[in-house]
Amino acid sequence: MTPNTPDSDASIHDRLEQLEARIDDLESENDALRETVTEQSDQIEAQQEQIETLETENTRLEAVAQAALKKGGANKARIAELQTRELEKGAHFLADHVDPDSLTDGVDRLERFTKEDDTYMRIPDSDDPLDRSGSVTLSYGDLLPIQQLAQMDDDMLRSSTNSLPSRLAAKLWRARSDPSVGDNPWQKGCKDVREYVKASEMKHWIRREESGVNDAYAKKLVSRTIDALLELSKNRLAIRKRTERKNGLPYTERRVLLKAGVSIPGETAESADSPETADVHG
């Protein structure tokens, strides 16, 4: 057996130091790899959370989009039904506002024709029912909101607005503008007032229109219906208070007025002069 020499001991010592240094290097590399793995794990968790957030938001947006499509489809169907009815009555609509494929049954064929101002569509050879001498023809979008709602039947009106005052306002306008309605609380005015309706008459009319409505609730509905009339008519109507007498006692009565000279799409603004309402001045 060969005895260890100083040179061999030094060599072994150097080798051990090299191995220890290598171990230290490996441990450092291992620690660095652990840190990298930890950072990547944190990034993966953050990305997973972000993905879950995006998936949740995407689900919400899909629901919103579906609701918007459903509402848009319903509105398109309502407009198509209204246009169909009006076309059958002889209405002329701007060509850009009509989608022939969406119209309901009853309109088999439309013709396109040109006036001085634009291009229109109508059922062949139908005259403009508003008789505007071929100048400007109203489209559905030209009408006031109150006129649009007033054209709807009760089912369509109920599906278009959840507001009872708005539905009552539309029915009240329909009673004013459609002689076939019958129950019309509006009265002819004179001088600067074309027509007017008293709040008291409106209350009785509401109770006739809405069964089960008591007197107190009808009074509240009068105020809300008046607000809806102003909003939906784009303030074409006005409110005035007038002192009147009943059983010899004075009281203040609100009136909704349609003044002479106010522009209503499709209507001729003219004053009314009736001996029976000569005291109406707005």
Judged against a pLDDT cut of 70, whether residue 209 lies above it is answered with: yes
pLDDT score recorded for residue 273: 43
The ranges assigned to domains in the chain are: 143-282
- Tens of pLDDT, residue by residue over 1-30, are 555 566 677 788 888 888 888 888 888 888
DSSP string spanning 109-174?
Answer: --EEEE-SS-EEEESTTPPPTT--TTS----GGGS-HHHHHHTS-HHHHHHH---HHHHHHHHHHH
Q: What is the mean pLDDT of residues 114-141?
A: 60
Residue 88, both tokens:
């059958």
Contact call for residues 167 and 157 (beta carbons, < 8 A): yes
The per-residue pLDDT of the chain, averaged, comes to 81
Q: Is the dihedral of CA 9, 10, 16, 19 positive or negative?
A: negative
Contact call for residues 226 and 254 (beta carbons, < 8 A): yes
pLDDT score recorded for residue 184: 92
For residue 168, the tally of other CB atoms under 10 A from its CB is: 23
pLDDT score recorded for residue 268: 57
Q: Is 98 left (phi over 0), alpha (psi -120 to 50) or beta?
A: beta
Query: DSSP alpha helices (H): ranges in 151-277?
Result: 154-160, 164-177, 199-209, 215-232
Judged against a pLDDT cut of 60, whether residue 58 lies above it is answered with: yes
0.85 exceeded by the pTM? no
pLDDT score recorded for residue 106: 58
Distance between CA atoms of 26 and 259, rounded to whole angstroms?
A: 95
As a whole-number percent, the residues of the chain with pLDDT over 70 amount to 83
The CA distances from residue 95 to 46, 130, 217, 256, in Å, are 54, 18, 45, 36
Q: What is the mean pLDDT of residues 184-189?
A: 92
Question: Given pLDDT bands bounded at 50, 70 and 90, which one contains residue 152?
Answer: confident
Distance between CA atoms of 240 and 253, rounded to whole angstroms?
A: 8
Q: What is the mean pLDDT of residues 219-244?
A: 92
Contact call for residues 204 and 184 (beta carbons, < 8 A): no
DSSP string spanning 68-118?
Answer: HHHHHHHHHHHHHHHHHHHHHTT--EEGGG--GGGSPTT----EEEE-SS-
Contact call for residues 114 and 161 (beta carbons, < 8 A): no
Distance between CA atoms of 72 and 48, rounded to whole angstroms?
A: 35
Which single residue is written with the structure tokens 């701007």?
94
